[in-house]
Chain A
Amino acid sequence: MAFNRRTLLAGAAAGAALPLVTPLRHARAQAANTIRIGVLNDQSGLYRDLSGPGSTQAVRLAIQESGITTRGVNVEVVEADHQNRPDVGSTVVRQWLDRDNFDVIVDVPTSSVALAVNTLVRERNKVFLCSGAATSDLSGPACSPNTIHWTYDTWMLARGTGGAMVAAGGRTWFFITADYAFGHALERDVSAFVRNAGGQVVGSVRTPFPGTTDFSSFLLQAQQSRAQVIGLANAGGDTINSIKQAAEFGITRRGTRLAGLLVFITDVHALGLPTSQGLVLTETFYWDLNDRTRAFTQRLGRMPNDVRPSMVQAGCYSAVLHYLKAVEAMGVAAAKASGAAAVERMKSIPTSDDCFGEGTIRPDGRKIHAAYLFQVKTPQESRGPWDYYKLLQTIPANEAFRPVTEGNCPLVRT
């Protein structure tokens, strides 16, 4: 038999390595006056719709609107697929930073990959603008003078959705947790919230990531624990499958509540309103939130697969726009020479854009803005495509994120 597991793995590895070949050979003549931005995210897997090519589109819009190119600075954008694997992501970033002289890495969903990139960028003194990843460790123990954690984090999700569930009487919790850095961080942060509010965590189960399709066994274990709330510490396709199967098994029929701790608008779209109606979720950006977000969505134009921008994609826009402001303020040469200096300059300027309004960046690298608690509309309430959320509560910027003193970030220790 010529077929065995080794040939199978070799075939899979060959296929996996293909997207690593990025086209990149340019004249070095203009290199000194060129900012190189690498958008690293999931281009093929379960986080593609909420980041993927849409993030690159948002970055291009930011470059165009910054007007920096009309003032003689070149900005190049390249995108790559990390396939949600830290090894793949690290290889791409090493190549970008060591061989191709990139200045900025943007997006990077999947916390395990983001933590690896965080270290690499710091060692080489470049800039990491993290929008896609969730782990609050990026502004905690793993904080770096070269990293800004832009859009959201696990603490914010815990404060928003977790806090709302506890306030509504959900005292006992059971977690279904994706078994990697993000899931662990989210479970930890929500658990702390539940306990502080006098609640109790009665159990949790860790599901293999990626590769779990059937969540019904985990849902039944959760139901058997008699917890009032089942916390879904997962994201993207995992959350979609969990919610779909919870509806099928009638998990919420006996009064158990389902808390989707990280739900993106693309997930709601994939589930459809009949299944997702009533879900409570926290985001920092919603395309239909106000005139400014609607204007941004309009300017962004048609997105891949006709989706509306997610908060991750909006974060890529906002972060790059702000970075380019800092570059203009300090000069291209200085910004390229030291990533830490560029980040320092970014922290010294208040942020302002259509997606997140006015904001600031803290010394620990945490970008601060308001967060919003939304509820998914019923099919009757929705007036048209992508009209999915109603606003329950605005969490002001100074309450939305973990206080700087509680994060254990070595940069701010006195």
Chain B
Amino acid sequence: MTELWYDLEPFLQQGTLGLVNGAFYALLSLGLAVIFGMLNVINFAHGAQFMLGAVVAWMLLTYAGIGYWGALLLSPLIVGLLGVVIERTMISRLYKLDHLYGLLLTFGLALIIEGLVRNQYGVSGLPYGVPDAFRMPPVDLGYMLMPAYRFWIVVVSITVCLGTWYAIEKTKLGSYLRAAVERPQLVQAFGVNVPLMMTATYGTGVALAAFAGVLAAPVYSVHPGMGANFIIIVFAVVVIGGMGSIMGSVVSGYALGMIEGFTRVYYPEASATVVFVIMAIVLLVRPAGLFGRA
């Protein structure tokens, strides 16, 4: 029995850590899925907006003395507003065109945002500590010591994911949104301001990315490339879950985080590629993704 426990221990450890990474994948792919599902825009700037969330948190702390909790609220608000400006001035002009134009525009925006931050702050990163409330010895789970802050990440991520899913699938506002995607003219004819809803949706998606950025700031190095590291994996997560499916992206976000974790025990060299292998298999078997509607 003890031997079995010994074998099981790394499995449990990596599963738990994978859950934390999965929390970030889920939050980021959620924002992407919302934006793609509602606006049909492939938001390549999502990683840069995630990074911006973390950098704004650092700026709030450094220049205004506003700590983690304030940043958790303010940073998504600020970056979300920036998203609103981007949507109004640029993206809204592309809705009628092919997806590719939106992809190219947001990819360009991502390069510009990353370049600006790099010129201003360099690449090594900005120090951002774990908030005081979580400065306690790691919690002993029996099979590993888990820092309290990482629990918080998982709890917040699950809450936000479920909340967003509920808002879109179960509320009246959500039903308007979904209707506006299917039949924009008809919904507008009923007196609903569709362009405003589009803008608000993009702003919300961007705010979700920034929110994930603030969550990530205490555990990952805050630097201009931090989003680029995530975004390719997150795109794979969205494709696996099914483009535009909220639940699909959340579930596959967590699942892939854990699979990646297990890979780190048995074949660490492949941990960066395992997600793409799964993506290839899923695309072969179910081209619309696990939860997608073909």
B149 / chain A contacts, CB cutoff of 8 Å? 248
Contact B99 A3 (CB under 8 A): yes
Q: In whole angstroms, how far apart are the Cα atoms of A271 and B223 in the complex?
A: 12
Please list the 6 inter-chain residue pairs (A to B) with the smallest Cβ-Cβ separation, ordered nearest first. A272-B127, A208-B272, A305-B122, A270-B124, A270-B125, A2-B99
Residues from chain B with a CB closer than 8 A to the CB of A266 are 122, 124
Nearest B residue to A46 by beta-carbon distance? Answer: B123
Indicate if the CB atoms of A237 and B103 lie closer than 8 Å.
Answer: no
Q: Chain A, 204-218, contact with B by CB distance < 8 Å: what is the 0/1 string?
A: 011110111110111
* Interchain nearest-CB distance for A236 vs B (Å): 7
Tell me if A362 is interfacial: C-beta within 8 Å of chain B: no
> Is B118 an interface residue, CB under 8 A from the partner?
yes
A15 and B107 within 8 A (CB): yes
In the complex, what's the smallest C-beta–C-beta distance from B219 to chain A, in angstroms? Answer: 6
Task: Report chain B residues within 8 Å CB of A221.
Answer: 10, 264-265
A250 touches B145 (CB 8 A): yes
Quick check: is A20 within 8 A (CB to CB) of the other chain?
Answer: no
> Is the Cβ of B243 less than 8 Å from the Cβ of A220?
no
Give the interface size bracket for A toward B: 35 or more
Known A-B contacts: A50-B124, A237-B223, A250-B147. Give 17 more (CB < 8 A).
A2-B98, A3-B100, A5-B239, A5-B279, A46-B124, A47-B123, A205-B264, A212-B272, A221-B264, A237-B221, A245-B219, A248-B130, A248-B147, A248-B218, A250-B138, A250-B145, A307-B122
A134 to B147, CA, bound (A): 34
Q: Does B121 contact A (CB under 8 A)?
A: yes
Which residues of B does A touch, CB under 8 Å?
A: 9-10, 13-14, 17-18, 20-21, 42, 44, 98-100, 103-104, 107, 111, 118, 120-127, 129-130, 137-138, 144-145, 147, 149-150, 218-221, 223, 225-226, 229-230, 232, 235, 239, 243, 261, 264-265, 268-269, 271-273, 279
Q: Tell me whether A179 is interfacial, beta carbon within 8 Å.
A: yes
The majority secondary structure among interface residues of chain B is helix
Nearest-neighbor residue (CB-CB) of B264 within chain A: A217
User: Bound state CA distance, A237 and B279, in angstroms?
Assistant: 28
Binding site for B on A (CB under 8 A): 1-3, 5, 7-8, 11, 15, 44-50, 52, 179, 205-208, 210-214, 216-218, 220-221, 224, 236-237, 240-241, 244-245, 248-250, 253, 266-267, 269-272, 274-275, 304-305, 307
Residues of B near A213 (CB, < 8 A) are 220, 226, 229-230
Cα distance A45–B225 in the bound complex, in angstroms: 7
Tell me, rounded to whole Å, the shortest Cβ–Cβ distance linking B222 to chain A: 9
Give which listed residue, A11, A208, A212, A249, contacts B103 with CB less than 8 A: A11
Query: With A15-B107, A244-B221 in contact, is A224–B10 under 8 Å at CB?
Result: yes
Q: Which of A211, A220, A271 contacts B144 (CB 8 A)?
A: A220
B144 in contact with A48 (CB, 8 Å)? no
Taking CB as reference atom, which chain A residue is nearest B44? A11
Contact flag A241-B220 (CB < 8 Å), given A8-B235, A15-B107: yes
Question: Chain A contacts of B127 at CB under 8 A?
Answer: 270-272, 275
With known contacts A240-B124, A275-B127, A305-B122, A217–B229 Cβ distance under 8 A:
no
Residues of A within 8 A of B226 (CB): 213
* A208 contacts across to B, CB distance below 8 A: 268-269, 271-273
CB proximity of B189 to chain A, nearest CB, Å: 28
A237 touches B124 (CB 8 A): yes
Whether A269 lies near B100 (C-beta < 8 A) is: no
Smallest Cβ distance from B233 to chain A, in angstroms? 9
Query: Inside 8 A of A274's CB, which chain B residues have their CB?
Result: 129
A267 to B124: give the CA distance in the assembly, Å.
6
- Closest residue on chain B to residue A254 by CB atoms: B145
Q: How far is the CB of A31 from chain B (nearest CB, A)?
A: 33
Minimum Cβ distance to chain B for residue A74 (Å): 30
Complex formed: what's the CA distance from A408 to B268 in Å?
31
Q: B121: nearest residue on chain A (CB-CB)?
A: A305
- Selected A-B contacts with CB under 8 Å, 24 pairs: A11-B44, A45-B225, A46-B123, A48-B118, A48-B122, A49-B124, A212-B272, A213-B220, A213-B226, A213-B230, A216-B17, A216-B20, A217-B264, A217-B265, A224-B13, A237-B225, A241-B220, A244-B219, A266-B122, A267-B124, A269-B124, A272-B129, A274-B129, A304-B122
